[in-house]
Amino acid sequence: MDLASKQRGKWTLVYPKDRLSEDYSSRELEKACMELIDSGRKWLAFDLGDVNYVNSSVLRVFIFCQKLLLEQNGGIALLSARQSVREVIEVSGLHKILPVLSSESELPV
């Protein structure tokens, strides 16, 4: 998975697309996250505006990355989720442990 990303202050904005579901997608997402973390990024924001579906394996990747980044005094945020994706996040309870924001302008500095 080739994820576009850009830097905005301390945050690295990551732009996944389409469906994030199958084992391939979640493994590739985890690999991309690990590469960013290994390169010294401590704050990852996933812009989910172009994602139309996520499943539990993708949510697991977000939790795993959050755990690693919290150990480094960093963290992740989820941005711009469509209603269908936001519902999965809320039903799973993930919104209780990760910030889910409407847009990148809401990211803390």
Q: What is the pLDDT along the chain (109 residues), one digit of tens a residue?
A: 557 889 999 999 998 876 665 655 788 889 989 999 999 999 999 999 988 888 888 899 999 999 999 999 999 999 999 999 999 999 999 999 999 999 999 999 8
The predicted structure's pLDDT at residue 7: 93
Query: Which CATH number do you get for residue 92?
Result: 3.30.750.24
The answer to the question of residue 11 being in a domain is yes
- Assigned domain for 34 exists: yes
Q: For residue 43, is it within any domain?
A: yes
Domain assignment of residue 67, given as a range: 4-104
Residue 22 lies in a domain: yes
pLDDT at 16: 84
pLDDT at 109: 83
pLDDT of the residue at 91: 95
Cα angle 95, 87, 29 (rounded to 5 degrees) comes to: 70
Q: Please give the model's pTM, rounded to 2 decimal places.
A: 0.89
Does 69 reside within a domain? yes
Q: Evaluate whether residue 109 is within a structural domain.
A: no
Number of domains in the chain: 1
| Amino acid 25: pLDDT | 79
The pLDDT assigned to 22 comes to 63
Q: Examine residue 37 and state whether it is found in any structural domain, yes or no.
A: yes
Angle between helices 56-71 and 83-92 (to 10 degrees): 70
Give me the pLDDT at residue 24, please.
Answer: 54
Angle at 48 between CA 91 and CA 72, to 5 degrees: 85
